[in-house]
Amino acid sequence: MSEEEKYPEIREKLRSLETIKASGDFTRNLQLRIVEEESSRRKEHVKKYDLEKGGFLRNLFTNRQYPWLIPAIGFTAVIFFVFYITFLSRTNLITESSLSSGDSKKETVQSENGTLHEEKKETQDKTPENITENSKKPDEGNSSVNKSSDDRENTVSKPQTTENKKPIVSSFDNTEKSGNENMKMKKDVGDNLKEREVFSKSGDEKLSAEESPETDADKATVPEMSAPESSKDKTVTDEFKGKGLLLKLDKINKAGLESLRNKINN
């Protein structure tokens, strides 16, 4: 007996059961539900698209598709931070070491020529040119580099004054217009020249001896200043530019003074 023939009564009863049909508004309700589903899906899509659009950080912390991004970025940030700190500390060490070495060199040079420098400074401080210079300089005593540059300027300015006599005299003559002012100037210049003569007579011998060690000192200091290792060097070069202008003024004054001296002597 096959399985189909076992319970024919029950099978007949089950088959004779009334078939339940869907209600009349089944398809309409189904369409409405489908429309709702579509709209909700579109909203979800729009939300997702907005999320994708909304900034890097927002995507990073709200998008859960790539959760590994957060620790990865954190780790890289830490690495960058550590590298930055180490780089900074290294650069600081290098600049400090270079500065300290430069200072030591200068100190050695200064210790060698200490007495000469002091004497020269004394003489320079007494001259009116240096007085004007000192009044113009904002912070002379801060850096030892400035001192060495001043020394160099003084040494360089002397031979140039003799060469630039004629053009500067002409320019000075053009400026001689008012008599009272000229008289005052002459008096002042005369006083200054007298002082200079005294210093030049006593210090000619010393200066000739000073010039050679000063050049050595300049040689020692120049590479430090020109080395482009740190930002401090840049400031030093800027100071040099300012000093260049002062030097030119100094030359002009000296040339004028010497021309006056010649006139008076004549």
Partner 1 sequence: MAGKPESDYKKLTDEELILLFQKEDVSAFNELVYRYKDRLVNFIFRYTGSREESEDLAQDTFIRLYKSKHLYVEIAKFSTWFYTIALNLTRTFLNKRSKFKTTSISNYYDEEEKDFDLESGGLLPDDIANASNEGDIIQRAINSLNEKFREVIVLRDIQDLDYEEIAKITNLPLGTVKSRINRGRECLKIMLESIHKPKTKK
Residue 97 and residue 117: Cα distance in Å, rounded? 26
Is 195:126 a contact under the CB 8 Å cutoff? yes
State the minimum distance, in angstroms, from the CB of residue 48 to partner 1.
17
Residue 217 and residue 150: Cα distance in Å, rounded? 12
H helix runs in 113-230, sequence order: 114-126, 128-136, 144-163, 165-175, 179-226
Binder to partner 1 among 1, 5, 24, 37 (CB under 8 A)? 37
- How many residues at the interface with partner 1, by CB under 8 A? 23
Residue 181 and residue 183: Cα distance in Å, rounded? 5
Is 5 among the residues that bind partner 1 (CB under 8 A)? Answer: no
Binder to partner 1 among 5, 20, 179, 180 (CB under 8 A)? 20
Is 49 among the residues that bind partner 1 (CB under 8 A)? Answer: no
Q: Which stretch binds partner 1 (CB under 8 A): 12-20, 73-81, 217-225, 231-239?
A: 12-20
Residue 193 and residue 191: Cα distance in Å, rounded? 5
Q: Which stretch binds partner 1 (CB under 8 A): 31-39, 103-111, 181-189, 226-234?
A: 31-39
Q: Which residues bind partner 1 (CB under 8 A)?
A: 3, 6-7, 9-11, 13-15, 17-23, 26-27, 29-30, 33-34, 37
